[in-house]
Structure 1
Amino acid sequence: MFFVSEELAEIDDILARARAAQTRFEAHGSQALYDQAALAAGWAIMEPERNRRLAELAVASTGLGNVADKITKNHRKTLGLLRDIAGVITHGVMREDAQSGITEIARPLGVVGAIVPSTNPAATPANNIINAVKCGNAIVVAPSPKGVAACEMLLAFIHAEFDKVGLDRDLVQMIPAPGSKAKTQALMEGCDKVICTGSQNNVHRAQTCGTPAVAVGAGNVTVIVDDSADLGDAARKIRASKTFDNATSCSSENAVVVLDSVRSAFLEEMASVGGALVEDEAGIVAKLWPDGHLNRAVIARDAKDMITALELDGQVPETTEFILVPTQGIGPEHPLSGEKLSRVLALYSARDFDEAAALTEQVQRHQGAGHSVGIHTKTEAHIERLARSMPTSRIIVNQAHTFATGGSFTNGMPFSLSMGCGAWGGNAVNENVHWRHFLQSTKIIREIPAREPSLDEIFGRYWQEAGA
């Protein structure tokens, strides 16, 4: 009990310092000051040498992903975010509408508590930190145990940048090692808003902690390849997406549903880009979940390590970058239908688009509902059909899913590492978590000329159709 009390006192102190720093930040606030803080945090991770060091430490300490892709992710996610928020008003008058008589004033939330995963131990906290200070907040980050070292390094770089421009280090803090559930719980209960990305256990705790929370659901991306798709383009994009950072992203494809009429041709294209067909579902399942849990020797590993762990040496080409495993089952007793965090794709076959859509919906309702679905097609009706019927917040069309879902320079999605899944995924939001979730506002309401309609204006058409 003594240790728990000591831990809670430590979090109370961190929150007190964060709250005092945020009060001063807001009292002297200006758009220029908030923008400067965001740019300082952004350069802390984007400066090439620091980016490399963060990427190397992230891979070394978590055992997840690969250095080159971490460097790319740290750079592009941060650059995209800074592009998104450039010119965004987060201080003073955000909106003034003479017609409604409403003036909206931007206001900080206060202290943000950010729960971040080990899969992106630098990029995700950096994204949250930049959004938080852009909106005038302080932020306290709770990293996963494996992500502590990378988070410590990131904060050291941010504090060095803050020192250069006279910003208070207490605006950006973290729960120090060793982390614990008690510390994280205390942070969530003591801050003004929780932003949570990570395990479903953490998401549940965030959403029940009593503090307003934005938490995101699980990913388990399914992509349809129909009979109008450019098969070579689809194969190249799926390979690029599936293998990026060793499939650590929640937006990495986990299943492909291909129509029977193009299955053979599609598999040829996949083979040409390093996708090996392994027709041994039972064997892969046994090795991928040897004790009912994902095999740590497989998840988020380089291709060669994954192949060795799955005992596929000599059974797949040396050029193999990922594998496709044909399966039919969906649900808890068919683990290939869920998220795999590895270079393993479940392969489903469908007679026609109707069956492909039905299979995709079943997979989503099993796991990943609300997150995102992909399609490779030239048929607009198929895209609209999915958008109107699928339990998902995003339909990614003819793109490499990992790069598209969380924002891309070639689409209009906000750059983010946290994808809200809406009511389908048990989340309060179904947007990409972005700067607007780190801001609140005060509205000045002035009197305007009355706009009261007559009953006939409201009910006239209805009375004509149904009678008064």
Structure 2
Amino acid sequence: MQLADKDLISIQETRLLLKNAKKAQVELAQMSQCQIDTICKAIKDAAMANLERLAKMANEETGFGVVEDKVIKNYFASQVVYESIKEMKTVGIVSYDEVKKIFEVAVPMGVVAGLIPSTNPTSTVIYKALIAIKAGNAIVFSPHPTAKNCIIETVRVLKDAAVAAGMPEDCIGCATEITLEGTAELLKNKDTSLILATGGEPMVKAAYSSGNPAIGVGPGNGPAFIEKSADIPVAVKQIIDSKTFDNGVICASEQSIIVERESEAEVIKELIKQGCYILSADEKKRLETVMMTPKMTMNPKIVGKSAAYIAEMAGIRVPQETKILIGIENRVGHDVPFSREKLCPILAFYIEDDWLKACERSVEILTKEGMGHTMIIHSRDEEIIKEFALKKPVSRLLVNTPGALGGVGGTTNLIPAFTLGCGAVGGSITSDNISPLNLLNLRRVAYGVVELDEIRKNVERESKIDPTGTVGKAAALDQAVEDKLDRVTDIIFEKLRNQLNI
């Protein structure tokens, strides 16, 4: 009889992957910038050669999204990310300041634990492999169980190409026995140098509580404010482009629309014109029953599905070509499904009296969920844009662009990335779009430029100077009084001498 404990097998597999990765990373860290760049190019080329195949695998295995959009995401994660990092100095001396007599040396972190979500599985593997290797790190992937096969295949494709280009074989690894215990081992093992966590909120919390350094991403819940000065048809198109891209699974995509009351009719008319469906009060209630689980978490059955599919789940009849389901909302809270993150083509629609009230509503939405992540504003009024920039608890305020593609750096000049930091306000260590520069340390070499004796002399000299002038004024006054007394004394003695005929 053959016995096999899957939990123990996954823990042992993880330990072995980390042990081998740690050893291989020592070799990788000795390579030149040219050698590292050659490996990165090979990873990019391999991904580019398999864009469509891997996209189809991800769609078929998870049931999420749109194949054509997953192809674009794979392209973005390979070609676009590669172009953004290829000139980065990440090996050896990376900067030298002749004037300040300081130079900086890039130091890899070691072994990165790459947690991969089911929503963007193949593209996230490509992206994380590129930025980890570029920074001189090894990486061990932990697949989401519902996207296991496409993730393992993506890792195989990239690893084969990287090894052929000179990478030590165990610098890229992937768990194949997927259990919670195995993932916990990956997070807590002493050979894990850094956790790069992209996924659900529980996974990110586990990463931060593991005892190892971590970069995690909290939930997105970005509102999109269409301010009255905006080009409304363009704003509506961009929101639809974003929310329907891969059926809304990118966390930076819009989750609600906020408009001023005077723009309400025009925006709704434009939404309907461009293929959205405005739910009646009864239809909205029915949709709410399928949006969340009994524990008020997002229902995985709606993630990455089309608007028509989700409507059918709720028993709502809509045209098959419907792009987004929109519910009028005036509440925000944990128990208000439309105010929460929805990784599918569903949007809340809020109507406010003016832009100040819209500003308050945005903060309310983000405070309940989505702190530190992303918000979108469509406006031609630069002063209002600046006011939103100053007051919103987000790391990215996107202006006149689709949220999903703007947040990841596709339609903006942000760093191209599939891991978006949410800053301290969002429980993250950074607010950056994560790049290789977040996956290495800098050793600063500083030359002496002043002696202690000189510091002492400076302190002594500066301490004698009264910057306010108070001491100087008091001394001048004392001297004036003393001079006056001397003159009075002289006069008195002169009169005495005259009277006594001395």
TM-score of the aligned structures, taking structure 2 as reference length: 0.87
Instruction: For residues 76-114 of structure 1, give each alpha carbon's deviation from its aligned partner in whole angstroms, at most 9, with x where no partner exists.
Output: 232221111121101111111122221111111111111
Specify the alignment match of 1:369 in structure 2.
371
Specify the alignment match of 2:330 in structure 1.
328
Size of the alignment, in residue pairs?
A: 459
Q: Which moved more, 1:192-201 or 1:91-100?
A: 91-100
Q: Aligned partners of 2:213, 2:259: CA distance in 1, in Å? A: 41
Residue type of the alignment partner of 2:432: E
Q: 1:224 to 1:457 in 2, by over 3 A?
A: farther
Specify the alignment match of 1:69 in structure 2.
69
Q: Aligned partners of 2:260, 2:461: CA distance in 1, in Å? A: 53
Instruction: For residues 127-152 of structure 1, give each alpha carbon's deviation from its aligned partner in whole angstroms, at most 9, with x where no partner exists.
Output: 11100111111100111101211111
Matching of residue 18 in structure 1 with residue 21 in structure 2:
yes
Q: Aligned partners of 1:357, 1:94: CA distance in 2, in Å? A: 42
Specify the alignment match of 1:381 in structure 2.
383
Specify the alignment match of 2:219 in structure 1.
218
Whether contact under 8 Å (1:11, 1:187) holds in the other structure is yes
Q: Of 32, 37, 40, which aligns to 1:38? A: 40
Q: 1:330 to 1:455 in 2, by over 3 A?
A: farther
Whether contact under 8 Å (2:417, 2:435) holds in the other structure is yes
Q: Aligned partners of 2:240, 2:118: CA distance in 1, in Å? A: 23
User: Percent of counterpart pairs with the same letter?
Assistant: 26
Q: Post-superposition shift, 1:283?
A: 2.2
Q: Which moved more, 1:70-79 or 1:236-245?
A: 70-79
Q: Aligned partners of 1:2, 1:60: CA distance in 2, in Å? A: 29
Q: 1:456 to 1:124 in 2, by over 3 A?
A: farther
Matching of residue 169 in structure 1 with residue 155 in structure 2:
no
Instruction: For residues 419-457 of structure 1, give each alpha carbon's deviation from its aligned partner in whole angstroms, at most 9, with x where no partner exists.
Output: 111121111111111111111122222111469676998
Residue type of the alignment partner of 1:376: H
Q: 1:109 to 1:261 in 2, by over 3 A?
A: same
Residue type of the alignment partner of 2:88: V
Q: Post-superposition shift, 1:296?
A: 3.9
Q: Of 289, 292, 295, which aligns to 2:292? A: 289
| Secondary structure at 1:265 match in 2 | helix
Structure 2, unpaired ranges of 5+: 471-502
Structure 1, unpaired ranges of 5+: none
Specify the alignment match of 1:115 in structure 2.
115
Specify the alignment match of 2:155 in structure 1.
155
| Secondary structure at 1:253 match in 2 | coil
Specify the alignment match of 2:180 in structure 1.
181
Q: Aligned partners of 2:24, 2:278: CA distance in 1, in Å? A: 56
Q: Aligned partners of 1:378, 1:269: CA distance in 2, in Å? A: 18
Q: Aligned partners of 1:223, 1:455: CA distance in 2, in Å? A: 59
Q: Aligned partners of 1:122, 1:7: CA distance in 2, in Å? A: 22
Q: Post-superposition shift, 1:305?
A: 1.5
Whether contact under 8 Å (1:92, 1:105) holds in the other structure is yes
Specify the alignment match of 1:193 in structure 2.
194
Q: Post-superposition shift, 1:174?
A: 0.8
Q: Aligned partners of 2:28, 2:371: CA distance in 1, in Å? A: 39
Specify the alignment match of 1:52 in structure 2.
52
Instruction: For residues 331-370 of structure 1, give each alpha carbon's deviation from its aligned partner in whole angstroms, at most 9, with x where no partner exists.
Output: 1121210101111000000110011011110000000010
Greater Rg by CA = 2
Q: 1:293 to 1:12 in 2, by over 3 A?
A: closer
Q: Post-superposition shift, 1:287?
A: 3.0
Q: 1:332 to 1:101 in 2, by over 3 A?
A: same
Q: 1:14 to 1:230 in 2, by over 3 A?
A: same
Instruction: For residues 374-402 of structure 1, give each alpha carbon's deviation from its aligned partner in whole angstroms, at most 9, with x where no partner exists.
Output: 10001111111111111111110000111
RMSD: 2.4
Q: Aligned partners of 1:78, 1:461: CA distance in 2, in Å? A: 62
